[in-house]
Structure 1
Amino acid sequence: MNAPQILKDSEDRMEKATDVFRNDLKGLRTGRASPQMLDALRVDNYGTMSPIRDVASVTCPDAATIVIKPYTADSLKEIEKAIRASDLGLAPNNDGKVIRLTMPAMSGDQRKKIVAQLKKSAEAAKVSCRNIRRDGNKHFEDAEKAKTMTEDDRDKGKTKMQDLLKAYEGKIDEIANKKEKEVMEQ
């Protein structure tokens, strides 16, 4: 692999790590109702574990309520069971046709726990990017040992790799800070 290929591959992998982090944040409770909170929820649908969006429509009529309307009446009990089993801390209100989830106000302590979880997730994303940098630097080392790259090109590549890492760590911090503000908002 030449230097541009190594850098492009590393950048693609860092972008994927950042996307995984963004998707993890969608499931975090922020005190505001959001259909994305239920994205990770799996429901038993005739013996197959399916995402909730495959078995019901999920809407938010206001900032404190999520309404789940199953496509078939049979799914109602399974959706309710999945919500109760999840770690969302929400009590489903089943009226026979739809399930309503009311977002309780979050205490300061709950907000701090969520922020701690957020920071842990951000650090995991940064570690993934650092591992990608390590792999990229190894490719530069191997190319230099195989005499397909000069020492200067290897060093320039490693410098560019470090700059790429800093850019992605900055993106991750920016995303985390934005989400932290959203969580801590009262």
Structure 2
Amino acid sequence: AANLGFSIANDGNIIRAVTPPFTEERRKDYVKQIKKIGEDTKIAVRNVRRDGNDNLKQMEKDKLISQDEEKVAQEHVQKVTDQHTNMVDELVAAKEKELMTL
């Protein structure tokens, strides 16, 4: 779990979550966490690409698809991977900009 600096108070009837002041230092901490999440997400996308390519290689080895079909499919997998990693980069950049302009 992310350490966001929240403190929790329970008076028996109400639970309060107290947030720390939103200083520039806090915003930079949030940006670091966002970048880490973005990098972890891109790693997960690349792992899916690897698994997909491994499956395609096995299908070609088992003669379920031709070498040409495998190549076309791998190119498609790479294109989709690139689209998703670019999307992650765009989302991280947008969130960083949003946080640093508050």
TM-score, normalised by the number of residues in structure 1:
0.48
Task: Report 1:23-172 matches (<5 A).
Answer: 87-172=3-88
In the alignment, the residues of structure 1 paired with residue 55 and residue 11 of structure 2 have an alpha-carbon distance, to the nearest angstrom, of 59
In the alignment, the residues of structure 1 paired with residue 11 and residue 44 of structure 2 have an alpha-carbon distance, to the nearest angstrom, of 44
Question: How many aligned positions are there?
Answer: 102
In the alignment, the residues of structure 1 paired with residue 79 and residue 12 of structure 2 have an alpha-carbon distance, to the nearest angstrom, of 56
Higher share of residues assigned helix: 2
State the partner residue of 1:55: none
Residues 117-147 of structure 1 show CA distances to partners (whole Å, capped at 9, x for unaligned) of 2111111110111011011111111111111
| Closer, same or farther: CA 93–147 of 1 in aligned 2, 3 Å | closer
| Closer, same or farther: CA 98–141 of 1 in aligned 2, 3 Å | same
**Aligned residues: percent identity?**
34
Whether the 8 Å contact between 2:5 and 2:20 is mirrored in structure 1 is: no
Can you give the 5+ residue segments of structure 1 that lack an aligned partner in the other structure? Answer: 1-26, 29-86
Q: CA deviation at 1:178?
A: 2.6
In the alignment, the residues of structure 2 paired with residue 128 and residue 109 of structure 1 have an alpha-carbon distance, to the nearest angstrom, of 29
Q: Which amino acid aligns with 1:159?
A: E
Q: Which amino acid aligns with 1:163?
A: K
Q: What is the RMSD computed on CA atoms of the aligned residues?
A: 2.1
TM-score, normalised by the number of residues in structure 2:
0.82
Q: CA deviation at 1:93?
A: 4.7
| Closer, same or farther: CA 146–181 of 1 in aligned 2, 3 Å | same
Whether the 8 Å contact between 2:5 and 2:19 is mirrored in structure 1 is: no
In the alignment, the residues of structure 1 paired with residue 47 and residue 30 of structure 2 have an alpha-carbon distance, to the nearest angstrom, of 26
Highest RCO, 1 vs 2 (Cα 8 Å, sep ≥ 6): 2
Partner of 1:104, secondary structure, is: coil
Whether the 8 Å contact between 2:60 and 2:66 is mirrored in structure 1 is: yes
Can you give the 5+ residue segments of structure 2 that lack an aligned partner in the other structure? Answer: none
Whether the 8 Å contact between 2:52 and 2:77 is mirrored in structure 1 is: yes
